């Protein structure tokens, strides 16, 4: 399958993806084969249904949010480029990347991009703020039914107060970054892609 | 620790050497108490030494305690040697393994950060297994090479097997030494967990190698057959996996047992220690790795045990464990020093000693570098050079090696004396030299230190989200990594294990985010109460923490109460809570809170005479405030009403069945004490009562607290309350000195703050409680005025059904202040009930100052919620006012 996948992928396309995402050649072909295997419609793009077919995602509390994150604003399909662009957020930051490319465009897997990805999962209305409602929704997804709404509400309130600096009762991205500054995001938002 | 221990433990009745004739007034019975007395004496000496060491910060900041203890041991050993002319005491292997080691291992297992441990399990196992094997074989072989080269003394009669045996015991990194040194170094968690985890898990390898080589040596190398090697390999798996399995088994038993200790809270901690110790002994009995057994028992049982046992038991377990571990550690190091004095066991060979030192350092470094190189191909965050240096250098040897070498059979291992001397030198070198230098080294290399900060809700929440995100991405990528399995495990745990091993109540309430939330609240509460102790600072310092609790639902109040244990707080709380959004619930809560009141009061009564002097004016003032409050409450009543009502009706309308139930339950609760079922917060409320009460009472109530039916308890609590009231009715009269101070001061404090009004930053964490932002003060001031509360809740605490309530409508100022109110009220009001009954007196100036202030604030408050509609009066207020009478009636 790997060979088939790579044959479908033009070399220049691979090069572009490589440049954009930082994945290696073999990672790209490997992920392309995964992409095609997910692509039941065989039209070179993935739809939401394709993602929803992944059994584990169905039981992931944030599964739907994450699926949505793969799709560009207002679109129902995602092509391989977009697919890779999203995945690139989770590429670990390698040592040699830390120093180079200071002036180039920020790599997709930078700390702030990783954080922004997470932030967008909360921020449904895309106003660059996590409101109390948005926070509550995510909280509700993540905690069991054991926690009552009141308890959840107080958690949400407190969470917002913790992070809120400008007193707008919402968490802006800056505040989000600030409140997580002690967290090793680079590690906690990275997975190992097979080489 | 000392040779005579064995026989002396069973004293013969007639053995006391008292004078035979007559019946003497006193008899010298040293022999009968000798053993325990010596043990206690040594522990005492070691503990006293610790105190002495800590006297000088300068010394302890440079020299690790373990070094000091070893040196002390050396000194003491020298003294004993000088007096007795022979070395009396030394570290007995059997005592070490049976009594001294288990507490340390249990402590480290139980408090092991399990997430970190399992995240790095791969690396830890590699270093522990491969690393230790590598170290043993290379060190042993290299030493044998030195011997072959003729560099060693002829006296060292040892073959390859002997050297391998020696290599196996000398190469294992020692958990006790590592822990002692690294705890003071504060390197980052990952590095620490790898080094420390390795030192714990390598026990299996060490034990196996030691036993295998020991048997080989005893058999004589000539008789060793291929099957013996195979057996050796097989025994590694048996010993390690078996040890872990024994640990898991006992962890399971322990969790299961603690599930049913509801009625015997007092011995809960005992189960923890006994079963862990049994795990150790059981593993030892069948010659499995006992360290692994205890470690795994500790790691695995913790989650369930902590959920099951009561709060008090948790504290007891924690402190007892720490105490035991710490004293064991102290004794071990001291006896290492003392044992070293015993020169009769020494046989020095320079080549052997230097060779060993060189090889263990060299091969550890090589091993670490090789393994890290391999591991880094798989690790998300590679271990860099500096990490490797610290890991190599942190390979301390300690008491385990020493005990093992002492255990060698001198008849079979003829070079034993040389090995003993070398081991002692190695242990001393690693603990003293490496222990001393590792701190500067870490500083010099700029190793990433651990920054210990308190968990924040945000971190907890978002890290959870990260986990989910990563798990999802792994699923999308189709690569099932570590997270996939952790996910699976968590689901299994949730579905089966937790249900089986946790009390239903504990299980239901179990949620990590919620836990963190509770912890934060508790911390705030603690700091609040702590500061409450200082009269002057109390009012001011508590301010910042208030906003955090703001939206404070019952739980936070609960926690506050739970921790505070002070009657004062409880009292306030009573008033305080009533004001929260869910009026009915509050009524019940109120009820419960009142129940917890009477005991603290009694306490105050006891201390009453002591502080008798202070009360009068302040008290009076408080009383005035109280009256004002009441008045004000009535005034603001109309405005509040609206809010309250809306909240109430909303709540009622809620589709959520549970909630409905809760509400209705709350409704019925007050009048007829009908038990509501399975309402979370009621359970917590029950906890309140339980926690604050004293021993026996608490026992009974505590047993209830984790009951599934919080309801029953509550009803009962109410009864209790009433009864208690009766009992303590007279107490009302006595002024409680402790209570009083804060409020007047708070009033005073308030004045200067009037002016400032900045942006209202919200400070949450307990650390911030120490800094009182100016803006807070204003807010606080206001909140005082709004004491009366106006039922802030709808705004401040929109609750989950926030959609409708949407905070943003209100402007920040009022909202904030409202949020703060709960706390404020606490400071202010708690005295009220007490004062209620106190004698009336003339106005104090303080009080007067207060009045004007309250007025404007109140106005402000009303502004905040402009919706003023005079509706039917709220049951809440009725409740509020009724209650006192009720109780006094009761």
Enumerate the domain spans of chain B: 93-445, 457-501, 538-889
Distance from CA of B403 to the nearest CA of A (A): 41
Q: CA–CA separation, B580 vs B644, rounded Å? A: 9
Q: Is this prediction's pTM over 0.80?
A: no
Contacts of residue A92 in chain B, CB cutoff 8 Å?
A: 380-381
Q: Is residue A120 located within the same domain as residue A84?
A: no
Q: b or e along B716-749 (b: 16 or more beta carbons within 10 Å of the residue's beta carbon)?
A: bbbebbbebbeebbebbebbbbbbbbbbbbbbeb
| Residues B794 and B835 sit within 8 Å (Cβ to Cβ) | no
Q: Is residue A42 located within the same domain as residue A79?
A: yes
Q: b or e along B204-231 (b: 16 or more beta carbons within 10 Å of the residue's beta carbon)?
A: bbbbbbbbbbbbbbeeeeeebeeeeeee
Q: Is B483 on the interface with A (CB under 8 A)?
A: yes
Q: CA–CA separation, B117 vs B114, rounded Å? A: 5
ipTM over 0.90: no
Distance from CA of A91 to the nearest CA of B (A): 9
Q: Is residue A79 located within the same domain as residue A140?
A: no
Q: Is residue A42 located within the same domain as residue A84?
A: yes
CB within 8 Å: B453 and A182? yes
Cα–Cα distances in Å, from B458 out to A140, B510, B543, B764? Answer: 15, 18, 21, 11
Q: Is residue A119 located within the same domain as residue A179?
A: yes
- Comparing CB atoms, the residue among B384, B463, B799 nearest residue A183 is B463
CATH of the domain at A168: 1.10.238.10
Contacts of residue B481 in chain A, CB cutoff 8 Å?
A: 191-192
Classify domain B93-445 by CATH architecture: Up-down Bundle (1.20)
**pLDDT in the model for residue B473:** 81
| Residues B153 and B349 sit within 8 Å (Cβ to Cβ) | yes
Q: Domain span at residue A174?
A: 108-195
Q: Is A184 among the domain residues?
A: yes
Q: What is the pLDDT of residues A95-117, one digit of tens each?
A: 655 555 555 567 777 888 888 88
| Residues A1 and A70 sit within 8 Å (Cβ to Cβ) | no
Q: CA–CA separation, B162 vs B412, rounded Å? A: 10
Q: Is residue A67 located within the same domain as residue A143?
A: no
Residue in chain B closest to A59 (alpha carbons) equals: B472
**Which of A60, A88, A116 delimits the end of a domain?**
A88
**pLDDT in the model for residue B320:** 92
Q: Is residue A68 located within the same domain as residue A125?
A: no
Q: Which residue in this structure is represented by tokens 């917890």?
A: B596
Q: Torsion angle of alpha carbons B645, B650, B651, B657, nearest 10°?
A: 150
Asked whether the CA dihedral A33, A35, A40, A43 is positive or negative, the reply is negative
- The CA radius of gyration of chain B, in Å to the nearest whole number, is 33
Q: Is residue A133 located within the same domain as residue A66?
A: no
The span from the first CA to the last CA of chain B, in angstroms, equals 62
Q: Is A98 among the domain residues?
A: no
DSSP B193-231: HHHHHHHHHHHHHHHHHHHHHHHHHHH-GGG--HHHHHH
Ranges of residues in chain B whose predicted pLDDT is under 70 = 1-22, 87-88, 449-455, 479-483, 506-513, 531-890
**pLDDT in the model for residue B507:** 63
Q: Is B461 on the interface with A (CB under 8 A)?
A: yes
**pLDDT in the model for residue B12:** 41
**pLDDT in the model for residue A193:** 75
Q: Is A101 among the domain residues?
A: no
Can you read off the two tokens belonging to residue B455? 């968990």
Using DSSP's 3-state secondary structure scheme, residue B87 falls into coil
Q: Is A2 among the domain residues?
A: no
Q: Is A5 among the domain residues?
A: no
Domain total of chain A? 2
Q: Is residue A65 located within the same domain as residue A124?
A: no
Window B:506-565, CB contacts with A under 8 Å: 507-511, 513-514, 517, 520, 547-556
Cα–Cα distances in Å, from B552 out to A162, B47, B796, B819? Answer: 14, 44, 9, 8
Q: Is residue A195 located within the same domain as residue A115?
A: yes
Q: Is residue A193 located within the same domain as residue A113?
A: yes
CB within 8 Å: B812 and A169? yes
Residue B645: which H helix or E strand, with range?
A: helix B615-653
**Which of A88, A121, A145 delimits the end of a domain?**
A88
Contacts of B36 (CB under 8 A, 6+ apart): none
Contacts of residue B520 in chain A, CB cutoff 8 Å?
A: 158
CB within 8 Å: A192 and B378? yes
| Residues B568 and B736 sit within 8 Å (Cβ to Cβ) | yes
- Comparing CB atoms, the residue among B384, B465, B507 nearest residue A138 is B465
**Which of A41, A58, A88 delimits the end of a domain?**
A88
Neighbours of B382 (CB within 10 A): 15
Q: Is A24 exposed, middle or buried (0-12, 13-18, 19+ CB in 10 A)?
A: middle
| Partner residues linked to B128 by β-bridges | none
Contacts of residue A152 in chain B, CB cutoff 8 Å?
A: 800
Distance from CA of A19 to the nearest CA of B (A): 20
Pick from B740, B673, B745, B738: nearest CA to B710: B673
Distance from CA of B131 to the nearest CA of A (A): 25
Angle ∠(B635,B636,B641) on CA atoms, nearest 5: 125
Contacts of residue B659 in chain A, CB cutoff 8 Å?
A: 148-149
Residue in chain A closest to B656 (alpha carbons) equals: A149
Q: CA–CA separation, B726 vs B728, rounded Å? A: 5
Q: Is residue A55 located within the same domain as residue A112?
A: no
**pLDDT in the model for residue B25:** 81
Pick from A111, A120, A105: nearest CA to A173: A120
């Amino acid at each position: 399958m790997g060979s088939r996948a790579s044959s479908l992928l033009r070399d220049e396309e691979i090069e572009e993806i490589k440049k954009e995402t930082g994945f290696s050649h073999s990672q790209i072909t490997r992920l392309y084969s995964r992409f095609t295997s997910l692509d039941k419609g065989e039209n070179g793009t993935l739809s939401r249904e394709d993602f929803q077919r992944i059994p584990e995602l169905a039981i992931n509390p944030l599964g739907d949010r994450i699926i949505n994150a793969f799709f560009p604003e207002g679109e129902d399909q995602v092509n391989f480029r977009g697919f890779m662009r999203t995945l690139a957020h989770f590429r670990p930051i390698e040592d040699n990347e830390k120093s180079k490319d200071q002036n180039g465009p920020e790599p997709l897997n930078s700390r702030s991009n990783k954080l922004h990805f997470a932030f967008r999962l909360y921020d449904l209305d895309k106003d660059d703020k996590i409101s109390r409602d948005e926070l509550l929704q995510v909280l509700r997804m993540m905690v069991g039914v054991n926690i009552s709404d009141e308890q959840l509400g107080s958690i949400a309130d407190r969470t917002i107060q913790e992070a809120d600096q400008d007193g707008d009762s919402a968490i802006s991205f800056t505040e989000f970054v600030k409140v997580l500054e002690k967290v090793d995001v680079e590690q906690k938002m990275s997975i190992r892609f097979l080489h | 620790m000392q040779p005579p221990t064995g026989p002396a433990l069973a004293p013969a009745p007639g053995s006391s050497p008292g004078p035979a004739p007559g019946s003497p007034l006193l008899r010298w019975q040293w022999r009968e108490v000798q053993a325990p007395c010596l043990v206690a004496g040594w522990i005492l000496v070691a503990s006293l030494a610790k105190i002495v060491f800590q006297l000088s910060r300068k010394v302890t900041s440079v020299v690790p305690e373990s070094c000091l203890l070893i040196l002390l041991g050396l000194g003491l050993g020298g003294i004993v040697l000088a007096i007795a002319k022979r070395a009396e005491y030394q570290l007995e292997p059997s005592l070490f393994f049976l009594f001294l080691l288990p507490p340390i291992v249990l402590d480290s297992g139980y408090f092991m950060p399990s997430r970190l441990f399992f995240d790095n399990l791969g690396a830890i196992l590699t270093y522990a297994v491969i690393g230790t094997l590598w170290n043993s074989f290379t060190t042993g072989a290299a030493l044998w090479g030195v011997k072959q080269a003729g560099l060693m003394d002829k006296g060292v009669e040892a073959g390859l097997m002997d050297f391998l045996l020696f290599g196996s015991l000398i190469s294992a990194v020692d958990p006790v030494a590592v822990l002692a040194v690294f705890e003071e170094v504060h390197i980052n968690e990952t590095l620490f967990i790898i080094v420390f985890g390795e030192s714990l898990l390598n026990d299996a390898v060490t034990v196996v190698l030691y036993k295998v080589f020991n048997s080989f040596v005893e058999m004589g190398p000539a008789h060793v057959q291929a099957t013996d090697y195979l057996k050796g390999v097989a025994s590694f798996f048996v010993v390690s996996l078996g040890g872990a399995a024994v640990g898991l088994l006992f962890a399971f038993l322990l969790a299961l047992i603690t599930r049913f200790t509801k009625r015997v809270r007092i011995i809960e901690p005992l189960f923890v220690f006994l079963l862990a110790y049994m795990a150790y002994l059981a593993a030892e009995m069948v010659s499995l790795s006992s360290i692994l057994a205890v470690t795994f028992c500790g790691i695995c049982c913790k989650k369930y045990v902590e959920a099951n046992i009561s709060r008090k038991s948790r504290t007891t377990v924690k402190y007892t464990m720490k105490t035991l571990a710490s004293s064991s550690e102290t004794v071990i190091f001291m006896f290492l020093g003392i044992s070293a004095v015993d020169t009769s066991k020494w046989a020095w060979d320079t080549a052997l000693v230097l060779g060993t030192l060189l090889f263990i350092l060299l091969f550890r470094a090589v091993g670490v570098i090789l393994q890290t190189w391999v591991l880094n191909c798989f690790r998300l965050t590679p271990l860099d050079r500096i990490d490797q240096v610290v890991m190599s250098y942190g390979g301390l040897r300690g008491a385990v090696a020493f005990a093992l070498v002492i255990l060698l059979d001198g008849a079979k291992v003829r070079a034993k004396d040389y090995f003993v001397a070398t081991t002692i030198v190695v242990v001393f070198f690693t603990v003293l030299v490496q222990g001393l230098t590792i701190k500067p080294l870490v500083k010099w290399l700029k190793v990433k230190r651990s920054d210990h900060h308190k968990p924040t809700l945000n971190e907890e929440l978002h890290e959870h989200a990260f986990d989910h995100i990563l798990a999802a991405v792994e699923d999308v990528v189709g690569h099932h990594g570590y997270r996939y399995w952790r996910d699976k495990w968590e689901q299994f745990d949730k579905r089966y294990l937790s249900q089986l091993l946790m009390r239903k109540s504990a299980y239901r309430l179990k949620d990590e985010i919620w836990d963190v939330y509770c912890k934060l609240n508790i911390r705030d509460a603690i700091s609040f109460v702590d500061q409450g102790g200082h009269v002057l600072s109390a009012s001011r310092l508590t301010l910042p923490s208030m906003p955090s609790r703001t939206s404070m639902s019952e739980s936070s109040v609960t926690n506050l109460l739970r921790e505070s244990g002070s009657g004062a707080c409880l009292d306030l709380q009573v008033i305080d809570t009533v004001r929260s959004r869910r009026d009915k619930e509050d009524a019940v809560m109120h009820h419960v809170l009142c129940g917890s009141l009477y005991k603290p009061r009694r306490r105050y009564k006891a201390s009453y005479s002591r502080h008798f002097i202070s009360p009068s004016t302040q008290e009076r003032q408080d009383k005035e405030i109280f009256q004002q409050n009441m008045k004000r409450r009535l005034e603001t009543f109309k405005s509040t009403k609206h809010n309250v009502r809306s909240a109430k009706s909303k709540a009622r309308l809620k589709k959520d069945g549970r909630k409905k139930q809760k509400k209705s339950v709350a409704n019925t609760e007050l009048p007829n004490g009908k038990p509501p079922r399975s309402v979370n917060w009621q359970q917590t409320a029950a906890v309140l009562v339980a926690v604050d009460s004293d021993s026996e009472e608490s026992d009974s109530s505590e047993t209830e607290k984790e009951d599934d039916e919080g309801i029953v308890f509550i009803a009962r609590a109410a009864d209790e309350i009433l009864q208690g009231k009766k009992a303590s009715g007279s107490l009302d009269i006595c002024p409680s000195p402790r209570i009083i101070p804060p409020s007047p001061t708070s009033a005073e404090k308030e004045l200067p703050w009037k002016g400032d009004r900045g942006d209202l930053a919200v400070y949450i964490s307990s650390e911030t409680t120490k800094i009182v932002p100016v803006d807070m003060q204003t807010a606080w001031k206001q909140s005082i005025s709004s004491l009366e509360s106006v039922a802030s809740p709808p705004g401040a605490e929109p609750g989950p059904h926030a959609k409708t309530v949407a905070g943003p409508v209100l402007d920040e100022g009022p909202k904030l202040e409202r949020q703060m109110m709960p706390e404020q009220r606490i400071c202010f009001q708690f005295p009220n009930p007490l004062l209620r009954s106190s004698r009336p007196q003339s106005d104090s100036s303080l009080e007067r100052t207060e009045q004007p202030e309250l007025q404007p604030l109140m106005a402000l408050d009303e502004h905040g919620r402009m919706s003023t509609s005079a509706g039917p009066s709220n049951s809440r207020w009725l409740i509020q006012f009724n209650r006192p009478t009720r109780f006094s009636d009761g």
